[in-house]
Every structure is written in structure tokens, then in C-alpha cells.
Amino acid sequence: MRVSSVPDAVREIITRNRSIHDCIKMDLINYTALAVKIQKEVELQVGSPVNLNTIVVAIKRYADSFEKKEDVQSEPMLRNARLSLTDGIMDIKFSSQDFGTKDVVSLMDGFTRIDPDYEFFRLTDSFRFLTEDISDVRKLLESFSLHKNFFQTGLAKISISIPQSEDNPDIASYVSEILHNNGIELVNAFFGQDSIVLVLHEKDAARAYEILRGEISRQN
């Protein structure tokens, strides 16, 4: 399970919600009201209670990145970053309401044996797995058929590894903006201290990969 900082959690939540993202960019949203709305999800990702004002500050910092857009565009935001593209991905969402600890451990153990490179993310009322869409995974899901779950196929993921020395809190909005400006919308996105995982439809993945690879080459 990934543990986020408050700014990381706020960026992740906003970036994968396109309507909120666009409202912040156009300065059409009240930061305090948004902080109240996402507080529980931020606390769940961070793993501890978070003061509302701390979330407001993180939201404002994210919003300020749009005001500095020209400066951000000129900075080597993706310098020395590494990309990997994996297609044939399944995004699986389980409700956390009817899952006990033993069930979660058993499920994670099953994914580890099938696909050691799976991704696990915990959200407010659910947890998600990104893994290969193969028959063994589907059989594993069938063994947990009594639990509420939803899965989406036809996806791909782009993983961006960012050296700690190049870490910049505005990378999240920068990457999202690049793809959005090229007509590519994300299905989901997850951000950590030194990595970004983008979930896209398979039809968009190769083009998104080339766009981002071009940005990295230009900045190195």
C-alpha cells in the first residue's frame, strides 16, 4: 500500500477528477469547500487525521501551478524521467465495506503469485488493483465473487519514474496538461513521491507514450 503526503494525495485526487481539475484551472472553485469534500479521502491515503487548513493550502499550491504555467513549461519537469508502457491492463475496484483484513491479505497474495508487478491503491471507500488481464486473474476474481467488485478492461498503464533529485510538486498537473492538450484524457492517475502511474484506454496509450517520451528527450 502506498502512503501519500497531503500534497501528493490532493494532487492525485484532483488530477483524476477532470471536472474539479478544470474548475481549479479556471479559478471557479472554493478551496475550502473542496477541502471539506475530499478530506476523508486525503486522510485515508495519508493514513492519519489531516487538518482542513492543511488541505486548503495544498489545493492552493496545486492551483498556483496553473498561474505559473509559462514558467513551468520552460522548466525541465521530466528531465531524467523513465517511462514504461504496459498494455492489456485490468483496473479492478473492490468495495472496502465488506472486505476483512484476511480477505485483503489473501487477495494481495493471489495477485503477487500471478503478477508480481501489480499496483495496489487504497481510496476512501474502496481499494484498486492494476494488473494484467489474464485468465488466472479472472479466476482469482471469481473466487472472491461474493465481494462487491467492478473491473474495467481494455486499458494500459504508463509508469513514469522520477529521480528524487528532479522531484517537483507541479509534475502532476504538468503531465496531465500535456496529455489533455493533445486530446488524451486519463482514465485514472496515481501519484507518489518518485513515480506517476497513468491509466489510459489502450487506443490512446501508444500516442501518449510517444508524446511523453518526446518531452523527456527534449528536456535531457
Mean pLDDT across the stretch 87-106?
A: 82
With b meaning 16 or more CB within 10 Å and e meaning fewer, what string describes 45-79?
bbeeebeeebbbbbbeebbebbeeeeebeeeebbb
**Residue 2 confidence (pLDDT):** 47
Lowest mean pLDDT among 2-6, 130-134, 153-157, 175-179: 2-6
**Residue 27 confidence (pLDDT):** 83
pLDDT tens-digit series, residues 59-80: 998 888 776 554 445 566 788 8
Beta bridge partners of 129: 92, 120
**Residue 203 confidence (pLDDT):** 94
**Residue 194 confidence (pLDDT):** 76
Measured between alpha carbons, how far is 179 from 182 in angstroms, rounded to an integer? 5
**Residue 114 confidence (pLDDT):** 92
Which of 194, 199, 197, 190 shows the shortest CA–CA distance to 168?
194
Q: Is 47 left (phi over 0), alpha (psi -120 to 50) or beta?
A: left
φ and ψ at residue 92, rounded to 5 degrees? -115, 130
| 8 Å CB contact between 116 and 131 | no
77-220: which CATH architecture?
2-Layer Sandwich (3.30)
Residues near 113 by beta carbon (within 8 Å), at least 6 away in sequence? none
**147 or 81, higher pLDDT:** 81
φ and ψ at residue 93, rounded to 5 degrees? -120, 125
- C-alpha atoms less than 13 angstroms from C-alpha of 17 in its C-beta half-sphere: 13
pLDDT tens-digit series, residues 19-39: 888 888 888 889 999 999 999
> What distances in angstroms separate CA 59 from CA 18, 67, 137, one per listed residue?
15, 13, 37
